Amino acid sequence: MKAAKVTIVEVAAKAGVSVATASRVLGNYGYAGAKTKERVEAVASELGYRPNKLARGLITGQTRTIGVIAGDISSPFYAAVLRGISDGVEARGMSMLITNSDETVAREIAATKLLRENQVDGLIVSPCDVMDSPHLKEAAAAGIPMVLIDRKVTGLQIDSVSVENIESSRDGVARLLWAGHRRIGVVAELGRTASQDLPKFLASAGQGGRTNLNAVSTSWQRLGGYLAAHRDAQLEIDPALIVHVGEHSASAAQQSVRALLETPDRPTALFCADGLMSSGAMAAIVACGLSVPDDLSLVCFDDLDWMAFVGSGIDAIAQPRRRLGKAATALLIARIKGAKGRARNLKLRPRYLSRGSIAPPPGTSTA
């Protein structure tokens, strides 16, 4: 038979204090004398009392809990970000509720509703829809403190933390160009930004046009860096080398990359825009019987564990994933505590890890 929960009324009665006093002591708000506090805490421990965070939240206006909506909690990227958030939250004596959107707007909307119903003090969100997200705009308008992580939403003026995607990608692709590669494929998930037209994007961003790369998703930003590196080298873009993967899936990336590598005029190098694209690309490279870097040079955005153990290792643009989580938590806690002022948009710089996956194109003389 399940034991009944001990109530604060029972704690107050046994400690000989009012319910209001017991609430202040166990809710850690307001004033109570040292001896009274000691007596109430001793009784609560003896009876096995566990505080009701939602009930305390009705009194204090805070549950000391933040809500997190991650894109894919099985991803190494989000796992490290969540660890950073957890470190920041626990250091402040708070807790967090984690939800998973699976990179779908419908699930993100449901997660936002769930967390708001649980009266979290604030939200950290990696938004699926960077162009609209009315549910996030509604939450922000309702006064819920919120920080966006990894991506920004157009028109939503709230704090955000991301990495410098454009220049980091530009540098990674430039390293391939410096090695002599002129046919460099790029693998990117570009499927969820339906309003973005790839040919128009290439025509504008590829020629240094007015496309606002800060207003598009991370994959588009990294594609923008790829285009900028080619523009710097005064090279024309071959659209056939852009692997436009329609979903955030390693298996989808594998199929698309394999099709590219099996063409007669395949690229001599690949730039992968994120970890899942890298995993799919590597599977395709192995399936095609190719070797890195002898047959194909490779640079990947985001550093995954396996990249240090493939051949001599894979060059990677390593995101400060844990620092992303910690920085987002610090911004959110400040807003929860009442910090005012304009939205802060922090950009952290990734680190390039050179491991030996870049070599001159096959057949190139090194003499």
Q: If residue 245 lies in a helix (H) or strand (E), which one and from where to where?
A: strand 242-245
Nearest to 353 by CA among 163, 171, 166, 223: 171
Q: Low-confidence residues of the chain, pLDDT below 50?
A: 1-2, 58-59, 194-195, 210
Residue type, 7: T
- Please tell me the predicted confidence (pLDDT) of residue 336: 92
Nearest to 211 by CA among 225, 194, 192: 225
Residue type, 11: V
Model confidence pLDDT, tens digit, residues 17-39? 887 787 777 776 666 778 888 88
In whole angstroms, how far apart are CA 121 and each of 19, 65, 96, 105, 359?
25, 6, 10, 22, 51
Model confidence pLDDT, tens digit, residues 271-327? 999 988 999 999 999 999 999 999 999 999 999 888 888 877 999 999 999 999 999
Dig out the tokens for 172 from the structure: 């990674």
CB burial string 229-263: b at 16+ within 10 A, e below? bbbeeeeebeeebbbebeebbbebbbebbbebbee
In whole angstroms, how far apart are CA 124 and each of 7, 127, 132, 325?
32, 9, 17, 9
Contact 244, 188 (CB under 8 A): yes
In whole angstroms, how far apart are CA 111 and each of 69, 106, 115, 302?
7, 9, 6, 26
- Please tell me the predicted confidence (pLDDT) of residue 207: 59
- Please tell me the predicted confidence (pLDDT) of residue 91: 87
| Distance (Å, whole) CA 258 – CA 288 | 7
295, exposed or middle or buried, with CB in 10 Å at 0-12, 13-18, 19+? middle
Contact 362, 294 (CB under 8 A): yes
Query: Domains (ranges, CATH) in the chain?
Result: 8-60 (1.10.260.40), 65-163+321-348 (3.40.50.2300), 165-318 (3.40.50.2300)
